[in-house]
Amino acid sequence: MSAVDRNGVLAGKVAVITGASRGIGDALARRYAMEGARVVVSARTVEGGDHYLPGSINETVADILAAGGEAIAVKADLAVAEDRQRLVDAAIEAYGGVDILVNNAAITYFIPVTDFPEKRFRLMIDVQVWAPFELAQLVLQGMRERGSGWILNVSSHAALHPEKTMQGRGGTVYGMCKAALERFTTGLAQEVYDEGIGVNVISPGLVATPGVMHHKLINESNEDRVTPVEHMAEACLHLCHGDPQTLTGRIDYADSVMEEFSLSARSLI
């Protein structure tokens, strides 16, 4: 088991990570804690068994604490305004501020445009576009006062324009959300460029998370391209420390970051 380095590259930093009950968010919470961050682990699933997919924020926090790290669990439904505010308030109350915000949470329905119901459309926009936008608003004041901070948004290859001759799987709305998230990222990076705040967006590639497996997104045609979640965790760590003026406004992919900066994945706590 990998040890927590209290003097790591995120020593003393407070990181809020949404969608951290399983998959990529869970991996990021563990990796950031390994580098000394105090992690606020957030999602809707609090206890194991609360969701049909495995994982919960209490389990993630328990593993971090057992390894010698610092973390708290905060239940939040990002479609609810009060929960978004409460998440940031809880982080400030527990640790004094937010140095790193990772917008990873998502809710996804794969339905063709002609059949897509308005309720689900608005829910996806709320969770994947408006929530990252508002959470950024809520943490930016503190970051500006300290003259430092990092915001990392998790996107997807779905943001890229698809080949028009390929049969779709109902991912148009998902792609819209991620494309909007990427444009938000580069715009915000420009706005805060001179304030010591880095803003980046990253896509994981194809990772065998519980959600990916549930939606059957891995098949014979792409199974050779599946990458370990540890690679995403390492790339996301790299995009949340260092010089924000040279590492901001990036639209990245996990494998590209790993290669560009010669990173090696670490085993997670």
Q: Given this model, what pLDDT does residue 214 score?
A: 44
pLDDT at 263: 97
Q: What is the mean pLDDT of residues 132-161?
A: 97
Q: Is 211 exposed, middle or buried (0-12, 13-18, 19+ CB in 10 A)?
A: middle
**Predicted confidence (pLDDT) at residue 104 exceeds the cutoff of 50:** yes
| pLDDT at position 165 over 90 | no
pLDDT of residue 244 exceeding 90: yes
227 vs 194: which has the higher pLDDT: 194
Task: Give the separation between CA 25 and CA 64, rounded to whole angstroms.
Answer: 13
- 52 is a catalytic site residue: no
The confidence score (pLDDT) of residue 4 equals 96
Q: What average pLDDT does the segment 256-264 reach?
A: 97
CA count, 13 A, side-chain hemisphere, 248: 23
Return the pLDDT at 215: 47
Catalytic residue among 32, 95, 109, 174: 174
pTM (predicted TM-score): 0.91
Could you tell me the CA-to-CA distances from 40 to 57, 115, 145, 218 in Å, in that order? 9, 37, 21, 30
- How confident is the prediction for the chain on average, in pLDDT? 92
Rounded to whole angstroms, the Cα distance separating 107 from 241 reads 28
Report all structural domains of the chain as residue ranges with CATH numbers, in order of start: 14-260 (3.40.50.720)
Strand pairing partners for 14? 38
The pLDDT assigned to 189 comes to: 98
| pLDDT of 217 above 60 | no
Average pLDDT of 130-156?
98
pLDDT of residue 220: 59
Nearest CA to 23 out of 227, 174, 207, 158 is that of: 207
